[in-house]
Copies of this chain bind each other. A is one copy, B any other.
Amino acid sequence: MGNPITATLIEQTCRYIPDVQPADAGTRPAGERPWQKWLDATLGLRDYWYPVELTRNLGEGASRVVTPLGEEILLMRRNGRVHAIENRCCHRGARLSEKPLCLSDDTVTCWVHTFTYSLEDGSIRTILNMPDSKLVGRPGIKVYPVEEVKGLIFVFIGDIAPPPLAQDVPPGFLDEDNAVYVAEIDIVHSNWRIGCEGSFDPAHHFIHNWSTFAVDNRLPMSLGWVPDLDRLADVIQYAAPQDGPKGFTRCASDTAMRFDTTIPGRGETPDTHYTVPMARGLSEERLRELQEHDFEIDVALWLPCGTRISPWPSPGVSTGEFFVPRDANSHYYVQYGCRKVGSEAERKAWESGELGVPLWKVPNVDGFTKEDIEAREAIAKFYDAESGWDREVLMGCDLELLMWRRFASEHARGPVQQEKHVQGRFRKQAPCAAASNLNQA
Contact = CB atoms under 8 A, between A and B. Distances in A.
A431 B378 contact: no
Interface string A168-209: 000000000000000000000000000000000101101100
Interface in A370-428: 374-375, 378-379, 381-383, 386-388, 390-397, 423-424, 426, 428
A436 interface: yes
Nearest to A428: B387
Interface string A109-125: 10111111010100001
Contact of A269 (B30, B105, B266): B105
Given A112-B379, A130-B397, A264-B126, A390 B257 contact: no
A248 B120 CA distance: 41
B435 A16 contact: yes
A297 to B, nearest CB: 17
A246 interface: no
Contacts of A282: none
Nearest to A111: B207
Interface in A69-121: 88, 90-95, 98-99, 103-107, 109, 111-116, 118, 120
* Copies in the assembly, this chain: 3
A393 B438 contact: yes
A261 B431 contact: no
Contact of A381 (B93, B105, B125, B128): B93
Given A98-B374, A224-B130, A392 B434 contact: yes
Interface string A253-273: 000011001111110010010
A407 to B, nearest CB: 18
A164 interface: no
A92 B388 contact: yes
B392 A93 contact: yes
A430 B433 CA distance: 39
A231 interface: no
A129 interface: yes
Nearest to A20: B134
Contacts of A426: 391
Contact of A431 (B30, B126, B129, B265): B30
* Binding site secondary structure of chain A: loop
A113 B439 contact: no
A97 to B, nearest CB: 9
A58 interface: no
A222 B432 contact: no
Contacts of A17: 435
A432 B106 contact: no
Contacts of A430: 30-31, 390
A224 B133 contact: no
A409 to B, nearest CB: 13
Contacts of A358: none
Interface in A43-62: none
Contacts of A374: 98
A226 interface: yes
A390 B129 contact: no
Contacts of A111: 206-207
A138 B125 CA distance: 67
Given A113-B203, A126-B264, A390-B431, 13 more contacts: A92-B383, A93-B391, A95-B378, A104-B265, A111-B206, A129-B222, A129-B224, A130-B396, A131-B261, A135-B395, A391-B424, A393-B434, A393-B438
12 contacts: A28-B436, A31-B430, A93-B386, A95-B381, A98-B374, A106-B265, A107-B263, A125-B266, A126-B262, A130-B395, A135-B393, A386-B424
The 8 closest A-B pairs by CB, nearest first: A93-B382, A129-B224, A104-B272, A129-B223, A128-B223, A104-B263, A387-B428, A95-B378
Interface of A: 16-21, 28-33, 88, 90-95, 98-99, 103-107, 109, 111-116, 118, 120, 125-131, 133-135, 201, 203-204, 206-207, 210, 222-226, 257-258, 261-266, 269, 272, 274, 374-375, 378-379, 381-383, 386-388, 390-397, 423-424, 426, 428-439
